[in-house]
Amino acid sequence: MKKTKAKEMVLKYRVDINWSEEDKCYIANIPELPNCMTHGDTMEEAVAMAKEAAQGYVETLKQEGLPIPVPLAEKRFSGKIALRIDPNLHRDIALKASMEGASLSKYIEERLRKSA
């Protein structure tokens, strides 16, 4: 992967920025790259530092021949989830879906959409 490709990929990873009262700075975390974190005095600096840290992380993985995580923004999702829940909860949700005239899948989807 060329440096420009690594840079393009880095921009697709999610960056979470939070203020740390303890450290008195903004902490940048790239959750898709385990343990890839940095900080900055301003949000803009934290974002810039995060891009630099992620690029270094990806380049190191490449050099070591390790798999590079695909950014969630590039992953395709089927929309199907295999889910195991308590049978009583399953029954209760199915009853509520039926009472609302919805399929179980649509009922769960709407509940998830409201909580997301």
**85 is written with which tokens?**
């829940």
Yes or no: say if 26 and 39 are a contact pair by the CB < 8 Å rule: yes
Q: Are strands 37-40 and 25-29 parallel, antiparallel or unpaired?
A: antiparallel
Would you state the pLDDT for residue 11? 75
- Binned average pLDDT, 10 residues per bin, the chain of 116 residues: 55 92 96 95 95 94 94 89 94 94 94 92
Would you state the pLDDT for residue 2? 45
